[in-house]
A and B are shown apart, each in its own frame.
Chain A
Amino acid sequence: MKQFSEIQQNIARQAVSETVFLSGSAGVGKTTAALAFLNALRDTGISGNSIMILVPQRSLGMVYQNFLETLGDFNGGIVTINTQSGLAQRMIRLFWPIIGHQTPFENPLLSPLFLNLETSQYYLDKICKPYFEKGYFESVHLEPPRILTQILDNLNKSALVGFPYQAISERLKSAWNLAPGHVHAYDEAQEVANEFRRFCYQHNLLDFSLQIEIFRNYLWPSLLCRQYILQQFPFVIYDNCEEDTPSMHDVMLELLPQSNGGLVIFDEEAGFRTFLGADPISASRLKSVCRTSLSLSEPFHQRENMEIVREVLNSALNGERLSHIPNTFLGSFSHQYDDFHPNMIESMAVKINELISDGVKPAEIAILAPYVSDALRFQIEQQLSKFDIELASHRPSRSLREEPVTHVLLTWAKIAHPDWGLVPTPFDIRQAFTYTLQGIDPLRADLLRQVVFQSKKEFWLNDIFSVNLETQERIGQFISESYQRIIVWLHEYQKDPQDLDIFLARLFGEILTQPGFAFKDNFQAANVASKLIDSIQNFRQGWLQRNPLQISNISKEYIETLENGVIAALYLQSWDEQPVNAVYLSPAYTFLMQNRTVQYQFWIDIGSLGWWQRLLQPLTQPYVLSRNWLPGQKWTDFNEYETNQANLRRLCSGLIKRCENGLFLHYSGYNESGGEDRGPLLKAVQQILRYSLNSQGSDYV
């Protein structure tokens, strides 16, 4: 059972009967106080049904989910963990019949269709096509998917911040203080956004921005809906409110004064999700509507040395002349330079192994980089595996397109439907055989492919009986029989072909998971197959109901759209799949959103500009599209520089606050792309080194 400090228990008791605004920096035990609050509510006999936990993103709810699981029964109810969009979707579903006719949708009597990111992108892509052909967006140098993402992002910002979507372009243009450059692309993006909105209204499609807008403009103002929420959830926990958006804060400003009890948690010096609309200034308004305001300042774990590291690094980042570095500093701060990138990873792996050999648990070590490319992740995984150390990496989403299993399943779908005209390559066929037929190796798969695959025939795969006996013998009898079974099954299927998802479900169940086939007992393959089928069904949903784009063959459309990268078919990897006792790798900002403290952190690629630079996107600008930006005010290089500097200081400070014992910095002469990096973080570290050497009485003058 989780232990709570007395302070946390006091806060919990207080929050049962009144709303409490709890602030403090990372690692002081605020979220644990919220768990104590849940505990107190349960002890008081409050049903779980009366409690809503609100978090800015799903991953931040995991700590509550896990805690609630340990608690067991919550007085016969279930605690709801929601995000802003989760709440909006739930309310829209519930109240659509009441508010539908007030909205601008053309068919309020039809139920709304929620779009996820990929289906939004898919529709927007179709809408954008004629604009691309007319030469739109030529002044920005972006590939179409990134243009789509930024247009959607602008729509989302307008909804989250609370200004009309028609004003996006004007806001962006009014902040531009330089020569016209690519500014007219803002107008082009606005035109396309307007068109997309019209399309959504016409077909009852609700992308993220519309979900938020409908909630904000029609549901929350409705007395019925508001009463429903208040009565349903008299107790509220709102964690990491500084990472949430002004429109959510607006709702909470009105909800909190009417709550029976609640805890609002505000992390000082945070607000890392600015590019997603997070607004800590707006969040701080919540303090005024809570009955009590408390602050925690004592760190949960002793980390005095790390506080020194934080202060020294902060001074260097501020460009202050260092006057004194305490002796204890070097005990918790070390750095390593290597000429080449792979050497840097190797040095780090050696150091991690030393720590683990000294008794540190792998899960107490985090490797943080500004960006984590697949190649980098793989390289680190390989190096650590030499010491039998496992790596868990944060990969919030992964494209199904990247999975060989997806490739194999779609190859079989193409073979089963030659009329689609999607001919697999010989390499596809070999891969499909290798993955499907139990006991086959790549060489025999290649041999089999050579003798049975004929793309010019009506059906591309021959029977095994057409192959001479000697070759059959080389392939092996068992494999030949399995192959023939799949051929027979495919011929049978072709008599009554079905949609792609049904085909895959049948192929998977009736053949691939049967004895003789390699998917039997392969749970990971089953997982991917199931996600793929889900993704196809989700994609198909629109067609089943309305087919707004009049596509005749949805299955073929799905495969082509997936293969050419327009939809990524992203799926969330389950958190519990990660090895538990493993070193953790993630982008630095992502780590900050994990509510996690470790003993040791390794920062790599510290020369990269990525530590300092915000996400720059030519068609959008999170600071200008925020509530804190005065319309008409110009965004200058000074703003850009100061914002980046402030972000870097906040990032470093936030990371060190989540580190208890030691910080290791690694960098290389050449980065992984062969370039040389000298970003501001590296320069600050060099300043510290220069000072340390100096103060040690070296020859340096």
Chain B
Amino acid sequence: MFKPRLKQIEVLNYTGGRMGVSAVPGSGKTQTLSYLAAKILADGRINDDQEILIVTLVNSAVNNFSTRIASFMQNFGLLPNLGYRVLTLHALANQIVRERPDLVGLDNQFQIIDERETHAIIASSIDSWMHLNHTVLENWTREDKSLDNPKIRSGWQRALATIALNFIRKAKDLQASPAQIEKLYQLLVLEDPLLSLGISIYKDYQRALNFRSAVDFDDLIRYALISLKMDEEFLERLRFRWPYILEDEAQDSSALQEQILSTIAGVHGNWVRVGDPNQAIYETFTTASPEYLKDFLLQPDVIARDLPNSGRSSAEIMNLANELIRWTNENHPLPALRNALTKPYILPTPPSDPQPNPPSIPNGIFIYDKEMSAQEELQNIAKSVKNWLKDNPDSTVAALVPRNDRGAKLVDILQKENIPYLEILQTSQSTRDTAKILAEILVFIQNPMQMANVVRVYENFDKIFINSKHRQLNETIQLLRSCPRMEEYLYPFPGKDWLQSKTDEANISDPQIFSNLEHFRQYLVRWQAAADLPIHQLLITIGQDIFSEPTDLALSHRLALVLEQALRNHPDWLLPEFVDELKLIAENRRKMFGFQDQDTGFDPELHKGKVVITTYHKAKGLEWDRVYLVSVNTYDFPSAQLSDSSISEKYFYKEPLNLEAELLARLEALVKQNIEALYQPYGEATEQSRLDYAAERLRLLFVGITRARQELTITWNSGDPHRLGAEKNSASLPLIALQIFLETKNEETS
């Protein structure tokens, strides 16, 4: 049973009104907030037809909250799962819009398109824009780079797609429709090719959504707020339903999130916001900002509380995190960045605390300051992980990467080295595994004569149904490969049965192989016969044949619906197109909305003996005994220095500008009709974006450090020496500062 410490009790004494809680990493805020929800219910402060609304940032936290609240409620002798609702902001917005879609011009059957469809729509608009605006693009390209060069062209395609995507997102954040923006653009008689590009793509994009009866994730949020503001009676109904709002990770709240929640709560409503301004890591190109939480905490009607004690990490790790705060506040070379991290420092738990800090391990922190190439860095990490896992099979470990592609490269090395790992990158592992198996079977159905397809399906089949020893599996596959005519195996004519002939030859050591192949044949024939079923039925059929775990079956059903939706958008699609779609999910290039699997409540403790590969962002809220922080260089963790290279400033741009930042600044100026800002020369937004990005990266590093319980290794790389046009990276400034701190400390100790 949870035994709250003093500071937590102060939070739990809440009865109503507005309260803000500033919580350091590992201070038990999820536990406290969950307990608070259960306590409100146990106190009987809401009616049967009301719910406590708990809003959190990411899906992974939803299950976590639900499970904890349910457990507290059971301890209080209450029925679990009643009286509260845990939702992400998107899920909340979905709830609101689903209830009154007519308010925003939608019908009940609207669909939510995912990132993959979004990218596809934008890519096709960008292609036609590039075709029509060749001269504009030439003017934006460095003289020594030619648009005829396919690499430069595709570089522009990718860059413009990202720029357009962010333009659309920002426009939606600002609640501006394409027509409104275009009207303002024409009214002010502007001639800005960058703005014109954004408007044109936004228009195409929204039209494409309309033609699919669809909304994207940003629309959901925008429409939710519009609905609340549009219909006072509807709002009152929701206010009654959710008399208490508990908001987690409030430091990453966007302007719209804050408006939605404050609108539902109302002026005198009950709204508890918990967050850590130092862990705000979702601000780039959004209106999210830790300032909202900071401002909230300062409001006179808000009860301000803090949770300064953390039992998560050893003193050594906490000192390092605190040093990052101190160095940023006092010694960062750019004064503009000195408030990127703010006090209070993390305090250890008081003596005899029920959640005490783990002991420090000698040399638990290791900052590797030697220069390595990107590949060498990953290889060294893999080597270190391998050794460590050997000695610590019962402990947890993770490597945090700044981007998914870095994670994928690390996974490649781990696979080659046979190091046990688990990756949590875009979609979850089981979603991808399920999609992969189904995609491979569909590939076989589509192309049954190719032996490679049959062998791939057999490997999965063996894993699921037979689990044969390595030798037997090899022998079976070898035998399968020897089949010259696949039709004589699967659909034998009398007297021409390949499997029978091989059985008669009897030169195979294990007769079980024949019965396995016979069994396998039955399934393949069954799936071929099912090929004419509508795609969702085909997937369900296969799913039921091969899976028995509830999550796998639910995922098959979910994937079937994804493809059914794809069919609605593309009535001309046949099996090959559906196979491609599934492959994208399997290859981790497509996210899905809603439930994916039980990993949504990821628990590192369940994966001891394996290294978890995830991004810094996805690691938030989690902790491991040992953590590797990868790529802490001037590229991934820049400090707004002239020597830093910037991800957003492409080498083929004519000017060293962040076009996204420039465009978004102009968009904001246009929507807010800030004429002065609209005519600012290019460059200022780029400068500001460097500062914002550097600040966010400092916080990301802080998040990374505070994931470690006892051991932490930080490395950097100089980049890929073969990468075209790329400059060499250096160790990032905070890494150097932390290393100096460690050395000084070590010297003092010795």
Q: B91: CB under 8 A from chain A?
A: yes
- A617: contacting residue among B107, B490, B574, CB under 8 A: B107
Segment with Cβ contacts to A, from B500-508, B510-518, B537-545 = B537-545
Which bracket fits the contact residues of A?
A: 35 or more
Q: Tell me if A641 and B77 are in contact (CB < 8 A).
A: no
Segment with Cβ contacts to B, from A299-307, A595-603, A666-674 = A666-674
A426 nearest CB neighbor, chain B only: B576
Give the Cβ gap from B71 to chain A, nearest Cβ, in Å.
15
Give the Cβ gap from B338 to chain A, nearest Cβ, in Å.
43
Given A339-B550, A375-B561, A447-B449, A670 and B102 contact (CB-CB distance below 8 Å): no
Q: B302: CB under 8 A from chain A?
A: no
Q: Tell me if A382 and B594 are in contact (CB < 8 A).
A: no
Given A140-B210, A141-B209, A699-B77, A442 and B572 contact (CB-CB distance below 8 Å): no
* Complex contacts, A137 vs chain B, CB 8 Å: 210
Q: A689: CB under 8 A from chain B?
A: yes
- A609: contacting residue among B98, B486, B534, CB under 8 A: B98
Q: B237: CB under 8 A from chain A?
A: yes
Q: A545: CB under 8 A from chain B?
A: no
- A443: contacting residue among B206, B226, B230, B490, CB under 8 A: B490
Q: A341: CB under 8 A from chain B?
A: yes
Q: How far is the CA of A444 from the CA of B536 in the complex (A)?
A: 25
Q: A640: CB under 8 A from chain B?
A: yes
Give the Cβ gap from B317 to chain A, nearest Cβ, in Å.
36
- A379: contacting residue among B179, B214, B540, CB under 8 A: B540
Q: B478: CB under 8 A from chain A?
A: no
Q: Of B110, B210, B491, B529, which is in contact with the most chain A CB atoms at under 10 Å from its CB?
A: B210
Q: Tell me if B104 and A182 are in contact (CB < 8 A).
A: yes
Give the Cβ gap from A90 to chain B, nearest Cβ, in Å.
34
* Complex contacts, B40 vs chain A, CB 8 Å: none
Q: B592: CB under 8 A from chain A?
A: yes
* Complex contacts, B551 vs chain A, CB 8 Å: 340
Q: Tell me if B233 and A375 are in contact (CB < 8 A).
A: no
* Complex contacts, B540 vs chain A, CB 8 Å: 375, 378-379, 382
Q: Tell me if A181 and B105 are in contact (CB < 8 A).
A: yes
Q: How far is the CA of A693 from the CA of B79 in the complex (A)?
A: 9
Q: Tell me if A443 and B448 are in contact (CB < 8 A).
A: yes
Q: B575: CB under 8 A from chain A?
A: yes
Q: How far is the CA of A5 from the CA of B237 in the complex (A)?
A: 49
Q: A139: CB under 8 A from chain B?
A: yes
Q: Tell me if B105 and A427 are in contact (CB < 8 A).
A: no
- A616: contacting residue among B102, B446, B536, B594, CB under 8 A: B102
Q: A572: CB under 8 A from chain B?
A: no
Q: How far is the CA of A672 from the CA of B596 in the complex (A)?
A: 11
Contact code string A301-339 (vs B, CB < 8 Å = 1, else 0) = 000000000000000000100000000000000000001
Give the Cβ gap from A169 to chain B, nearest Cβ, in Å.
15
* Complex contacts, A425 vs chain B, CB 8 Å: 574, 576
Give the Cβ gap from A345 to chain B, nearest Cβ, in Å.
9
Contact code string A427-443 (vs B, CB < 8 Å = 1, else 0) = 11001000100000111
Q: Tell me if A342 and B557 are in contact (CB < 8 A).
A: yes
Give the Cβ gap from B55 to chain A, nearest Cβ, in Å.
14
B525 nearest CB neighbor, chain A only: A441
* Complex contacts, B51 vs chain A, CB 8 Å: 678
A386 nearest CB neighbor, chain B only: B544
* Complex contacts, A544 vs chain B, CB 8 Å: none
Q: B2: CB under 8 A from chain A?
A: no
Contact code string B521-564 (vs A, CB < 8 Å = 1, else 0) = 00000001101111011001100100000110110111011001
- B77: contacting residue among A142, A182, A382, A700, CB under 8 A: A700
Give the Cβ gap from B85 to chain A, nearest Cβ, in Å.
7
Q: Tell me if B574 and A427 are in contact (CB < 8 A).
A: yes
Q: How far is the CA of A658 from the CA of B394 in the complex (A)?
A: 60
* Complex contacts, A618 vs chain B, CB 8 Å: 101-102, 105-107
B-side interface residues, number (CB < 8 Å) = 80
- B213: contacting residue among A143, A179, A401, A565, CB under 8 A: A143
Q: A564: CB under 8 A from chain B?
A: yes
* Complex contacts, A686 vs chain B, CB 8 Å: 82
Q: Tell me if A690 and B107 are in contact (CB < 8 A).
A: no
Q: Tell me if A617 and B102 are in contact (CB < 8 A).
A: yes
- A378: contacting residue among B49, B206, B493, B537, CB under 8 A: B537
Q: B403: CB under 8 A from chain A?
A: no
- A441: contacting residue among B91, B490, B556, B571, CB under 8 A: B490
Q: A636: CB under 8 A from chain B?
A: yes
Q: Tell me if A446 and B448 are in contact (CB < 8 A).
A: yes
Q: B215: CB under 8 A from chain A?
A: yes
Q: Of A563, A636, A637, A687, which is in contact with the most chain B CB atoms at under 10 Å from its CB?
A: A637
* Contact residues, A473-489 vs B (CB, 8 A): 474, 476
Give the Cβ gap from B99 to chain A, nearest Cβ, in Å.
7
* Contact residues, A92-125 vs B (CB, 8 A): none
Q: Tell me if B537 and A427 are in contact (CB < 8 A).
A: no
- A144: contacting residue among B211, B447, B533, CB under 8 A: B211
Q: Tell me if A375 and B105 are in contact (CB < 8 A).
A: no
Q: Tell me if B557 and A474 are in contact (CB < 8 A).
A: no
- A675: contacting residue among B446, B564, B594, CB under 8 A: B594
A644 nearest CB neighbor, chain B only: B99
Given A425-B574, A637-B233, A672-B558, A687 and B48 contact (CB-CB distance below 8 Å): yes
Q: How far is the CA of A638 from the CA of B100 in the complex (A)?
A: 12
* Complex contacts, A676 vs chain B, CB 8 Å: 91, 595
Q: A531: CB under 8 A from chain B?
A: no
Q: Tell me if A341 and B487 are in contact (CB < 8 A).
A: no
Q: Tell me if B541 and A146 are in contact (CB < 8 A).
A: no
Q: A683: CB under 8 A from chain B?
A: yes
Given A139-B105, A564-B571, A341 and B214 contact (CB-CB distance below 8 Å): no
Q: Tell me if B487 and A181 are in contact (CB < 8 A).
A: no
Contact code string B15-28 (vs A, CB < 8 Å = 1, else 0) = 00000000000000
* Complex contacts, B82 vs chain A, CB 8 Å: 686, 690
Q: B159: CB under 8 A from chain A?
A: no
Q: Tell me if B564 and A374 are in contact (CB < 8 A).
A: yes
Q: Tell me if B449 and A142 are in contact (CB < 8 A).
A: no
Q: A78: CB under 8 A from chain B?
A: no
Q: Tell me if A402 and B554 are in contact (CB < 8 A).
A: no
* Complex contacts, A701 vs chain B, CB 8 Å: 77-78
Q: Tell me if A178 and B554 are in contact (CB < 8 A).
A: no
Q: How far is the CA of A693 from the CA of B572 in the complex (A)?
A: 53
Q: Tell me if B550 and A375 are in contact (CB < 8 A).
A: no
Q: A343: CB under 8 A from chain B?
A: yes
Contact code string B102-118 (vs A, CB < 8 Å = 1, else 0) = 11111110100000000
- A374: contacting residue among B48, B105, B449, B537, CB under 8 A: B537
Give the Cβ gap from A411 to chain B, nearest Cβ, in Å.
11
* Complex contacts, B368 vs chain A, CB 8 Å: none
* Complex contacts, A638 vs chain B, CB 8 Å: 233
Q: B207: CB under 8 A from chain A?
A: yes
Q: A516: CB under 8 A from chain B?
A: no
Q: How far is the CA of A570 from the CA of B208 in the complex (A)?
A: 26
25 example contacts (A-B, Cβ-Cβ < 8 A) are as follows A138-B179, A140-B106, A141-B210, A142-B107, A142-B210, A179-B230, A182-B105, A374-B564, A375-B537, A382-B540, A382-B541, A404-B532, A443-B449, A443-B487, A443-B491, A443-B528, A563-B571, A564-B571, A616-B107, A638-B233, A687-B48, A687-B49, A690-B48, A690-B82, A700-B78
User: What 10 pairs between A and B have smallest CB-CB spacing?
Assistant: A674-B594, A674-B595, A637-B233, A182-B105, A699-B77, A441-B491, A340-B554, A140-B105, A443-B487, A637-B234
